Amino acid sequence: MSSLPAQPSPLRTISAHAALDRDGQLEPWSFELRDLRPGDVAYDVLYAGICHTDLHMVGPWGRHFPMVPGHEIVGRVTEVGSAVTGFAPGDVVAVGTMVDSCRECAPCVAGMESYCEQGPTTTYDGLDRVDGSVTRGGFARSGICDERFAHHVPDGLDLAGAAPLLCAGITCYSPLRHWKVGPGTRVGVVGIGGLGHLGLKLARALGAEVTAFTSSPEKVDGALALGAHDVVLTRDEEQLAAKANTYDFILDTVSTTHPLTPIMSTLKLDGTLCSLGIPDHFDVAPMSLAMARRSIASSGSGGTRETAEMLAFCAEHGITADVEVVKPEEINEAMARLAANDVAYRFVIDMRAGD
């Protein structure tokens, strides 16, 4: 007698916080979690980081509303599909900015799915490649993800502080590795915020000599405490001039358009500035590039290969984000403070609060 095929897990109603309309406040909302597929990992969300991207997504960048943001997720596995081999219920799992990709193009085969030629499926506000449903993020009690895009959280990492590693951390780590930052490298990090503070920690742990660039004198002591060997105030022309032709690589995390020509002048011959903030445009004199064959580049978040590598590196060096933990009912206040740059250095929601 043939056995009946396995039935999918029943849909579950999940409570969440969502923007019901563009530019709206986040409100309590619920959605139906899709069926568990053979390769899936289901998890309860423990912590969810608030990324600056979330501000843009509930505003001009968003496509599908209601929207449940959140792509810096640490959770605990509750159920796994029949084909899952790498996770079991009870494991601590991390999910970042994407939950699927085409898996066939050259970047995907190389584990660089963030550069999928068809475009990765984003963790939220994306369209599921199987059933076309809208993906929901970590500002929710539970989630689901194919195991290829889930990661084990190494023992010893603070779970709240680990959540921002899944976006801010990997977004800094990937270019640092690509441009071969290490011992003997002189690196500048521009902007000491959610990304920049992790850029400082990671570059220092990679063995580089690291300088923080900031427009805020009040951030000098904090930057030194984070691992910077030196701090340059970008509004001080003499300090900038003293660093001319100094750096091999600069990680620029500022998201607003700002004067780049003075900063570019601090790069050595063949030096590169990598813009992670992705401002509207670059305010730079082309001659400042030509005079020393300097380059402006950019980088997206890393793929699955680099994310796993980054988590292991952070565990080895004790690196997590400096966070302020908030409750779900404080999300809107935290989003407003983030927009005003009033956080040191990352908000993380304790999604267990109120259980």
pLDDT in the model for residue 7: 42
* Cis peptide bond N-terminal to 66, omega within 30: yes
Which are the contacts of 304, defined by CB distance < 8 A and separation ≥ 6?
111, 113, 148, 149, 151
The CATH T-level fold of domain 12-166+302-350 is: Quinone Oxidoreductase; Chain A, domain 1 (3.90.180)
pLDDT in the model for residue 4: 38
Task: Measure Cα distances from 342 to 21, 67, 346 in Å.
Answer: 25, 24, 10
Token pair 């250095």 in the structure block, residue: 345
pLDDT at 33 over 50: yes
| Cα–Cα distance measured from residue 54 to residue 149, given in angstroms and rounded to the nearest whole number | 20
Residues 58-74, mean pLDDT to the nearest whole number: 96
pLDDT tens by residue, 314-345: 999 999 999 999 999 999 999 999 999 899 89
End-to-end CA distance of the chain: 46
Q: What CATH number does the domain located at 168-298 have?
A: 3.40.50.720
Q: Checking DSSP bridges between strand 186-190 and strand 98-100, what pairing results, if any?
A: unpaired
Residues 64-77, mean pLDDT to the nearest whole number: 97
Range(s) within the chain of domains with CATH label 3.40.50.720: 168-298
* Nearest residue to 338 (alpha-carbon basis) of 36, 63, 54: 54
Give Cα 9 distance to the centre of its chain. 31
Proportion of the chain above pLDDT 90, given as a percent? 92
Residues 117-122, mean pLDDT to the nearest whole number: 97
Residue 174 · residue 160 · CB < 8 Å = no
pLDDT at 1 over 90: no
pLDDT in the model for residue 167: 97
pLDDT in the model for residue 49: 98
pLDDT in the model for residue 277: 87
Query: Token pair of 210, please?
Result: 């690291």
pLDDT in the model for residue 11: 59
Range(s) within the chain of domains with CATH label 3.90.180.10: 12-166+302-350
Question: Residue 355: which pLDDT band, with cuts at 50, 70 and 90?
Answer: low
pLDDT at 152 over 70: yes
Report phi then psi at 277, rounded to 5. Answer: -70, -25
pLDDT tens by residue, 280-291: 889 999 999 999
| Cα–Cα distance measured from residue 41 to residue 38, given in angstroms and rounded to the nearest whole number | 9
pLDDT at 178 over 60: yes
* Cis peptide bond N-terminal to 43, omega within 30: no
Query: Token pair of 118, please?
Result: 């068809």
| Cα–Cα distance measured from residue 48 to residue 69, given in angstroms and rounded to the nearest whole number | 9
pLDDT in the model for residue 354: 59
pLDDT at 278 over 90: no
